[in-house]
Amino acid sequence: MSSLHLRIEKMIAEEEKKKEGENEKLLVDLCECYLMLRNNASSELISICVPRLLKVAMNRKENEETQKDVEMALLALNRIDIYVQIEQEPYMNELKEIMKNHQEHRNLTRLAYQCTWQFLICRFFNDKSLEEVIVNELHLAREARRELEELMKCIDWGRGKEEKRVTETKEAFTILSLLGIFEFYFSLCTIRKEEFVGLINSIVQIFRAAKDNHREIGSQCVNILRRAVGYRTAGVDGLLKGGAVEAFLEEIQRPTMDDEMVHHISMFFKEISIRCKKEERKDMKKKVFEKMEEEGYEDTITSIHEIFESL
Provide the H-helix boundaries in 106-210.
110-123, 130-132, 140-153, 170-186, 195-210
Distance between CA atoms of 77 and 92, rounded to whole angstroms?
13
Q: Which long-range contacts (CB under 8 A, 24 or more apart) does 251-259 make?
A: 251/211, 252/300, 252/303, 252/304, 253/297, 253/299, 253/300, 253/303, 258/215
Task: Please say whether the structural domain 139-311 has been given the CATH code 2.30.30.
Answer: no
**pLDDT value, residue 162:** 46
SS3 assignment, position 257: coil
**pLDDT value, residue 5:** 79
**pLDDT value, residue 159:** 56
Q: Please state, in angstroms and as integers, the Cα–Cα distance from residue 19 to each residue in 11, 31, 66, following that order.
A: 14, 16, 24
Q: Among residues 263, 242, 240, which one has the least CA distance to residue 251?
A: 263
Q: Which residues, 6 or more positions from 150, have their beta carbon under 8 angstroms from its beta carbon?
A: none
**pLDDT value, residue 212:** 81
**pLDDT value, residue 77:** 94
**pLDDT value, residue 161:** 47
Residue 296, by phi and psi: left (phi above 0), alpha (psi -120 to 50) or beta? Answer: left
Q: Among residues 16, 94, 7, 103, which one has the least CA distance to residue 58?
A: 94
Show me where the domains of the chain are located. 1-127, 139-311
Distance between CA atoms of 94 and 88, rounded to whole angstroms?
10
pLDDT in tens, the chain (311 residues): 568 878 888 898 888 887 665 688 999 999 999 999 887 888 889 999 999 999 999 998 888 999 999 999 999 999 998 888 888 888 999 999 999 999 999 999 999 999 999 999 988 888 888 888 999 999 998 999 999 999 998 888 875 444 445 556 788 888 998 998 888 888 777 777 788 889 999 999 999 998 888 888 988 999 888 888 777 667 777 888 888 888 888 887 777 667 778 778 888 887 777 766 555 566 666 766 666 566 555 565 566 555 555 54
- Our separate counts of H helices and E strands in the chain read 16, 0
SS3 assignment, position 192: coil
